């Protein structure tokens, strides 16, 4: 029963990883930029929510309405002012810029808020659970996270398939040169994609913070690695594959946690490396290219 | 150029300049080796840090600047180099031999890991190396004999601090010299040209018959060994490892990126300049605490965006400088073409690159 329970928790944890990975996938898919600061954007989102809660007593769900547009706005201008320039310089430049951001953010957060955990209270939601059978219970928050993750992926798919901007983004992923020839302002399009990526990252960051009951400056480093692992395990270019990848990673971690509390991260990383070695295209065959 | 003049040119590899570089370089290394007899031990032991910083910057530049592989996971090898000292020291070797034996082991590990890392490309390669570094750290801390998560100190070590500093100094200097010599000769070799063509256009390089994966793998292994040796020096100087999360910290990658970018990526001279700048900044500003890292990150971004060639890149482009000559030039040897031949007629190979 312990194993079954761990399996269920792992699947639900996968929802969080998939949510975290979504922004990374969008940025890479549309712009071919791997955002090494992705995890830090998640952390910043969680910090704003935590501060909103402690200073203004803002409910976490309400603060999402502020955090997501704010980080989306930041993402838009980071793209326009920094990354757009970097893209013109070389292939490596955007990577180095995002790495610079990834170094700056946690250190600023430590200097401003110390290394202490900033609480994100959810009014008991994080500990509430539904007992399915004896020994297996489903946490309410992980369940909500999973549902939101699925909805978010579906919405992103719809956005990319049905809206004009979404179609342009897919076109940019395939052939941005030609798109430019068609008269589409690729800079604005790229910035919108980055805004979307940052917004979703911040959103996922708040969910991560709620799960952990708070956020520390060090969470970003871990989060970006989890997100990346979910993307690679699932297979590049498939959003539903990323969900599958997140679930594999989540299950690997929770099952390892049954054996020893020190093992989850190591086993998660080893599973990732094994997939990379033996199934480099990921566990899901990709059909939709994002 | 007329057809009959075509065979009246020769490709010059800057042989004379290379000879000068070798003589001056050897003189500097010998002088530095004798420095501990002249200066106070405190002075020379503070140079150890500069030596390993230059080593780190040089090998990272080899990876990113010449082979086009941005790794943010070189701390894996730094940590392994530090922990390798414990492993071989416990087996009965003295700490200095341990460093050298560990570097061989690290070369083998880097070779094995390259098969995983090379599944990924570009940005995902960078983040993949980061995951590998995390996994390596998580495996290392599983060993209680290595101090688990607490770090440990070298058990069998010379008790005399003067001798300790002296030997660490010479080891660090030797590693630095070996790294620079290896880099210079590697880049002057056929493989150096292959590397630069891979960096500039991997597809075209492959089409020209260059073994892209093999060439990259060799560089990856060399970079791992270099970082491992630097890690050994760090461990020897601190007589141990304070905590695994420190020696395996991603900050080391940030320092390497910073040094190489500031100095000039894709040049041999650049990382040396960058390391000196970082070393001086570190002396004066490290008491700023973490804001110092913030400034480094911001500077790295600014240099990437507005000064992508770095200090040496800009200088060498402007004044046509090359301390370490690795380029080619075509020189006319026929009389009459001599005036033009004196100038560089084929800039394709460049001088700084």
Q: With b meaning 16 or more CB within 10 Å and e meaning fewer, what string describes B12-47?
A: bebeeebeebeeebeeebeebeeebeeeeeeebbeb
> Closest Cα to residue A96, out of A36, A44, A26, A30?
A36
For A32, A110, B74, B199, B315, the CA distances from A28, given in Å and listed in that order, are 4, 29, 23, 21, 35
Instruction: Give the distance, in angstroms, between the CA of residue A228 and the centroid of all CA atoms in the same chain.
Output: 9
Tell me if A111 and B123 make a contact (CB, 8 A cut-off): no
**Is there a domain that residue A235 lies in?**
no
A43: enclosing H helix or E strand: helix A38-56
**Is there a domain that residue A276 lies in?**
no
Query: In whole angstroms, what is the distance from residue B305 CA to residue B299 CA?
Result: 10
Handedness of CA B140, B145, B151, B153 (dihedral sign): negative
pLDDT computed for residue A285 by the predictor: 62
Which tokens is B140 given? 């290392």
Within A182-288, where are the H helices? 186-212, 219-234, 239-259, 264-278
Percent of chain A with pLDDT over 90: 57
Q: Sort A40 into a burial class: Cβ within 10 Å, 0-12 / 13-18 / 19+.
A: buried
Q: In 10 A of CB B288, how many CB atoms? A: 13
**Is there a domain that residue A146 lies in?**
yes
Q: Which residue has the higher pLDDT, A30 or B170?
A: B170
Q: With b meaning 16 or more CB within 10 Å and e meaning fewer, what string describes A243-275?
A: bbbbbbbbbbbbbbbbeeeebbbbbbbbbbbeb
**Is there a domain that residue A184 lies in?**
yes
pLDDT computed for residue A286 by the predictor: 53
Q: What are residue B11's DSSP bridge partners? A: B330
**Is there a domain that residue A226 lies in?**
no
Q: Sort A229 into a burial class: Cβ within 10 Å, 0-12 / 13-18 / 19+.
A: buried
Residues of B in contact with A234 (CB under 8 A): none
Average pLDDT, stretch B322-326? Answer: 78
B75-90 and B95-117 helices, crossing angle to 10°: 140
Tell me if A273 and B251 make a contact (CB, 8 A cut-off): no
Domains belonging to chain B, first-starting first, are 39-249 (1.10.3470.10)
A258 touches chain B (CB under 8 A): no
A218 touches chain B (CB under 8 A): no
Q: What are residue B240's DSSP bridge partners? A: B153
pLDDT computed for residue A53 by the predictor: 87
Q: In 10 A of CB B348, how many CB atoms? A: 10
Which tokens is B319 given? 């004044």
Chain pair A-B, CB pairs under 8 angstroms: 123
**Is there a domain that residue A255 lies in?**
no
**Is there a domain that residue A241 lies in?**
no
- A 73-92 residues inside an 8 A Cβ radius of B: 82, 85-86, 89-92
pLDDT computed for residue B6 by the predictor: 54
Tell me if A269 and B123 make a contact (CB, 8 A cut-off): no
Residues of A in contact with B134 (CB under 8 A): 225, 265, 269
Q: Which residue has the higher pLDDT, B339 or B196?
A: B196
Query: In whole angstroms, what is the distance from residue B259 CA to residue B277 CA?
Result: 8
Q: Which residue has the higher pLDDT, B169 or A90?
A: B169
A157 touches chain B (CB under 8 A): no
A97 touches chain B (CB under 8 A): yes
pLDDT in tens, B76-95: 999 999 999 999 998 988 88
**Is there a domain that residue A287 lies in?**
no
Ranges A27-36, A146-155, B298-307, B320-329: which has the least confidence:
B320-329
pLDDT computed for residue B336 by the predictor: 52
pLDDT in tens, B112-160: 999 999 988 888 899 999 999 999 999 999 888 888 778 888 887 777 8
Q: Which domain holds residue A180?
A: 2-221
Q: What is the number of structural domains in chain A?
A: 1
Instruction: Give the distance, in angstroms, between the CA of residue A47 and the centroid of all CA atoms in the same chain.
Output: 15
The CA angle A69-A72-A73, to the nearest 5 degrees, is: 85
Residues of B in contact with A236 (CB under 8 A): 124
Q: With b meaning 16 or more CB within 10 Å and e meaning fewer, what string describes B248-278?
A: bbbebbbbbbbbbbbbbbbbbbbbbbbbbbb
At which residue do the structure tokens 């500990």 appear? Answer: A127
Residues of B in contact with A273 (CB under 8 A): 116, 131-132, 135
Interface with B, mutate which of A29, A107, A227, A233 (most B CBs under 10 A): A107
Residues of B in contact with A85 (CB under 8 A): 305
For A143, A262, A274, B82, the CA distances from B138, given in Å and listed in that order, are 30, 9, 16, 15
Average pLDDT, stretch B203-226? Answer: 92
Query: In whole angstroms, what is the distance from residue B237 CA to residue A166 CA?
Result: 55
């Amino acid at each position: 029963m312990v194993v079954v329970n761990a399996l269920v928790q792992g699947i639900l944890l996968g929802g969080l990883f998939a949510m975290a990975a979504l922004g990374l996938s969008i940025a890479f898919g549309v712009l071919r930029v791997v955002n090494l600061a992705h995890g830090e954007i998640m952390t910043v989102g969680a910090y704003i929510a935590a501060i909103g809660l402690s200073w203004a007593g803002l409910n976490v769900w309400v603060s999402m309405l502020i955090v997501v547009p704010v980080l989306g706005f930041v993402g838009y201008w980071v793209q326009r002012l920094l990354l757009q320039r970097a893209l013109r310089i070389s292939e490596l430049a955007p990577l180095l810029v995002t790495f610079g951001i990834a170094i700056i953010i946690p250190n600023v957060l430590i200097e401003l808020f110390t290394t202490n955990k900033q609480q994100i209270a959810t009014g008991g939601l994080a500990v509430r659970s539904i007992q399915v059978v004896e020994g297996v219970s489903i946490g309410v928050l992980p369940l909500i996270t999973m549902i939101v993750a699925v909805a978010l992926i579906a919405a992103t798919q719809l956005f990319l398939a049905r809206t004009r901007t979404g179609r342009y983004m897919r076109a940019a992923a395939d052939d941005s040169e030609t798109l430019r020839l068609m008269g589409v302002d690729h800079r604005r399009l790229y910035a919108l994609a980055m805004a979307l990526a940052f917004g979703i990252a911040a959103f996922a960051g708040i969910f991560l913070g709620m799960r952990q009951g708070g956020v520390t400056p060090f969470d970003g480093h871990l989060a970006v690695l989890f997100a990346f692992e979910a993307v690679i395990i699932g297979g590049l270019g498939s959003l539903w594959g990323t969900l599958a990848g997140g679930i594999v990673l989540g299950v690997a971690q929770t099952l390892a946690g049954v054996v020893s509390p020190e093992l989850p991260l190591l086993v998660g990383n080893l599973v990732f490396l094994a997939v990379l070695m033996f199934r480099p295209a990921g566990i899901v065959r990709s059909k939709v290219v994002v | 150029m007329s057809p009959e003049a075509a065979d009246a040119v020769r490709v010059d590899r800057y042989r004379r300049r290379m000879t000068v570089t070798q003589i001056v370089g050897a003189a500097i290394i010998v002088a530095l080796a004798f420095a501990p007899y002249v200066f106070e031990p405190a002075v020379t032991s503070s140079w150890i840090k500069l030596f390993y910083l230059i080593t780190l910057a040089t090998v990272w530049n080899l990876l990113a600047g010449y082979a086009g592989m941005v790794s943010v996971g070189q701390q894996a090898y730094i940590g392994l180099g530090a922990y390798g000292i414990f492993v071989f020291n416990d087996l009965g070797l003295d700490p200095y031999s341990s460093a050298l034996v560990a570097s061989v082991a690290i070369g083998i590990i880097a070779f094995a890991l390259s098969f995983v890392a090379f599944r990924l490309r570009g940005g995902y390669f960078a983040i993949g190396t980061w995951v590998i570094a995390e996994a390596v750290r998580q495996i290392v801390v599983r060993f209680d004999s290595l101090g688990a998560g607490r770090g440990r100190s070298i058990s069998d070590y010379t008790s005399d601090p003067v001798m300790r500093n002296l030997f660490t100094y010479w080891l660090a200097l030797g590693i630095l010299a070996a790294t620079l010599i290896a880099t210079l000769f590697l880049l002057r070799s056929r493989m150096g040209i292959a590397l630069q063509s891979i960096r500039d256009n991997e597809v075209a390089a492959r089409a020209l018959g260059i073994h892209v994966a093999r060439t990259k793998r060799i560089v990856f292994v060399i970079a791992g060994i270099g970082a491992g040796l630097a890690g050994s020096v760090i461990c020897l100087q601190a007589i141990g490892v304070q905590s695994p999360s420190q020696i395996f910290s991603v900050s080391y990658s940030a320092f390497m990126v910073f040094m190489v970018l500031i100095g000039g990526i894709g040049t041999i001279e650049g990382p040396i300049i960058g390391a000196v700048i970082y070393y001086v900044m570190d002396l004066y500003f490290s008491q700023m605490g973490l804001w110092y890292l913030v400034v480094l990150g911001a500077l790295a971004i600014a240099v990437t965006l507005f000064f992508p060639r770095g200090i040496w890149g800009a200088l060498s482009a402007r004044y046509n400088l090359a301390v370490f000559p690795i380029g080619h030039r075509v020189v006319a040897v026929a009389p009459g073409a001599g005036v033009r031949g004196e100038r560089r007629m084929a800039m394709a190979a460049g001088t700084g690159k």
